[in-house]
Amino acid sequence: MERVYSASPDRAWKALTEINQMRQWYFPMLEDFRPEVGFETRFTVENEGKEYVHIWKITEVLPMHKISYEWKFGGFPGNSLLTFELLAEGKGTRLILTHKGVDSFRGDIYPGLARENFVSGWTSFLDQALMEFLKRKI
């Protein structure tokens, strides 16, 4: 997925990597996050009465440009790789989101982890939550 925001790459980078900002638009229950290769965190999200333990491990960091992390769910099969890339575009930022390996979560067996749920979730995060967050003055 690609989106262009009117915010600077620096502002977008902070929204993607600073925990206090991430909690405001992304995952409020995030307990810890550091954009450092090897850093690991886990947190629980409840959805439709089910708990999903999100497990992230940072695999790549190019400050102000790219961050990637493995994304798994405790108690479920599969492993994915999420990447956010930022490119300066005029006075704004082009964000490219890639989430590889989503099908390994076996959405055919675990409907809550189906590909369409990820597409819907990322669309909501990018088109609403992050867009509104980046428009705010902080």
Residues 77-101 have a mean pLDDT of: 97
> Is the CB of residue 82 less than 8 Å from the CB of residue 60?
no
pLDDT over 80 at 88, yes or no: yes
pLDDT over 70 at 138, yes or no: no
Cut 0.85: pTM above it: yes
Distance of alpha carbon 107 from alpha carbon 84, whole angstroms: 23
pLDDT over 90 at 136, yes or no: no
Residues 93-97 have a mean pLDDT of: 98
pLDDT, the chain, mean: 96
Kindly provide the residue ranges of all beta strands, DSSP E only, lying in 6-128, ordered along the sequence. 40-47, 50-62, 66-74, 80-89, 92-100
Domain ranges of the chain: 2-135
Residues 51-62 have a mean pLDDT of: 97
Residues 36-64 have a mean pLDDT of: 95
CATH topology for 2-135 is: Alpha-D-Glucose-1,6-Bisphosphate; Chain A, domain 4 (3.30.530)
